[in-house]
Amino acid sequence: MSTEAPFLNETTTTELITHSSKEPSYNIITTVCGPLNASISEEIAANDLTSRANYCYVLCAVLGFASALFLFYSFFRTYRAGTWNRLDTLLCALSISEFYIVLCSLSSLAHRPQYLQTTNLNCAIFSFFYNVAYFSGQLMLVLMGFVLIFDQDPPSTPLLQTALNKPIVCVGVTTLASLLSSVLLMGLLGISRDPNNVYNIYKVTACRVDPCQASYIYSRTKLVLGFILPNLLLLALLGAGYLVWRRSNSSFLSRLKAFPVFLAVALVTFVCRIVYNGVLMKEVSLRVTDELSPRQEALMSVAEFVLFSGSCASLVLLLLLHGPFRDGLREVLCCHGMGGREANRHIMAPHIEIRDTQDMTTADDQETTTTNDH
């Protein structure tokens, strides 16, 4: 009985592995993003790992969706109340970016351990819009850091003062930078080291948020533009904030503790994206050298779910750590819990009016005096 799967030469391959007719047959459909030469047991173990990660992510996705819906409801209430400020603008833009990433995760949630099957063109468009949200969310953290650091100590530079006073303009510039970065990555999808590997935009292939046919230069460019540069900007802002707060006789740590939502979201985003980018770089390098194994393919799927979980966690942290959102959630929960009991109490309890006898006697005397006068 053969225990080795045939070598898969195509970038996206679906193989039907059937054992000899003398023994029970097992049909295993394997959809991969690169050439594999692995045993059936390795394929099964890899699919099992991916499926377990998929099930675990379901809970994160539900929490992320619920948190995002309540956040948008809170933003609507804030806007209607006329209390909208510049921090709300940045938090709303960040919430939209993270929520869109959670929406993109549905493609992985619905198809793993296999992949969404579509043309290279459709996959590139899907990846483009995902990357816009990916870059935008990272740059929004930089803007949040800038606003929170210089909120009480405005910068002396006119350009920085304008950026501080007009957050909607900063959001527009950030979105434009995200669009340009995504266009660059979309153009890098067709670059390959193999001149014989022609990029056919109408070829049906396995698709994910970072396409399987992405080259090594694609992964390096995304690492630099979407992770290294934004985090260097954050470090520079923290350094500037340390100098500004030291000059104003404020404690650096105490000022940072005043912004728990920013610190928590930045930390979660950093951890999840460094894991994802590290696994992506490793996976692309193994695919280029035809050494990609089912286990590494499964690790790439797990890294995707880690990235998506970071967006869900960011939405939950925004809801729980930001004061107005937390108070709004507490108000809704308390009103929902007390509303039924209050209504029943008013219905069942009769209204009894008790009047003081002294007041009644005084009223009767006044009435008698009035009668005698007449």
Q: What is the pLDDT of residue 10?
A: 41
Q: What is the pLDDT of residue 18?
A: 41
Is 332 part of any domain?
no
Is 2 part of any domain?
no
List, in sequence order, every residue forming a beta bridge with 30; answer none if it has no partner. 15
- In the chain, how many domains are there? 1
pLDDT for 2-41, tens place per residue?
A: 444 444 444 444 443 444 334 443 333 334 565 555 678 8
Q: Do residues 266 and 235 lie in contact, with contact meaning Cβ atoms separated by under 8 Å?
A: no
Average pLDDT of the chain, as a whole number: 80
Q: Which band of pLDDT confidence, cut at 50, 70 and 90, is reported for residue 307?
A: very high
pLDDT at 357 over 80: no
Is 367 part of any domain?
no
Q: Do residues 308 and 102 lie in contact, with contact meaning Cβ atoms separated by under 8 Å?
A: yes
Q: What is the pLDDT of residue 373?
A: 55
Least confident of 57-61, 78-82, 366-370: 366-370
Q: Which band of pLDDT confidence, cut at 50, 70 and 90, is reported for residue 164?
A: confident
Q: Which residue has the higher pLDDT, 19 or 234?
A: 234
Instruction: Calculate the dihedral angle through the C-alpha atoms of 137, 142, 148, 151, rounding to the nearest 10 degrees.
Output: -120
Is 347 part of any domain?
no
H helical segments located in 289-355: 294-321, 323-348
Q: What is the pLDDT of residue 75?
A: 94
Least confident of 10-14, 141-145, 275-279, 351-355: 10-14
Long-range contacts of 110-115 (CB under 8 A, 24+ apart): 112/50, 112/51, 112/53, 112/54, 112/301, 113/46, 113/47, 113/50, 113/51, 113/54, 113/298, 113/301, 114/29, 114/31, 114/206, 115/12, 115/31, 115/33, 115/206, 115/207, 115/208, 115/212
At 164, the amino acid letter reads L
Report the CATH number that the domain containing residue 54 is assigned in CATH.
Answer: 1.20.1070.10
Neighbours of 223 (CB within 10 A): 18
Instruction: Name the most confidently modeled range: 182-196, 285-299, 324-338.
Output: 285-299
CA distances from 310 to 134, 261, 276, 314, 317 (A): 11, 14, 10, 6, 10
pLDDT for 327-346, tens place per residue?
A: 888 888 887 655 555 544 54
List, in sequence order, every residue forming a beta bridge with 17; answer none if it has no partner. 28
pLDDT at 213 over 70: yes
pLDDT at 137 over 70: yes
Q: Which residue has the higher pLDDT, 10 or 214?
A: 214
pLDDT at 315 over 90: yes
Q: What is the pLDDT of residue 338?
A: 58
pLDDT at 194 over 80: no
Cα torsion 188, 193, 195, 199: sign: negative
The reported pTM is 0.78
Is 249 part of any domain?
yes
Is 345 part of any domain?
no
pLDDT at 138 over 80: yes
Is 133 part of any domain?
yes
CA distances from 276 to 129, 164, 223, 298, 301 (A): 18, 32, 10, 13, 10
Q: Do residues 326 and 319 lie in contact, with contact meaning Cβ atoms separated by under 8 Å?
A: yes
At 280, the amino acid letter reads L
Is 256 part of any domain?
yes
Helix 86-111 with 167-188: angle, nearest 10 deg: 30
DSSP H or E stretch at residue 128: helix 120-149
- Structural domain of residue 145, as residue ranges? 40-322
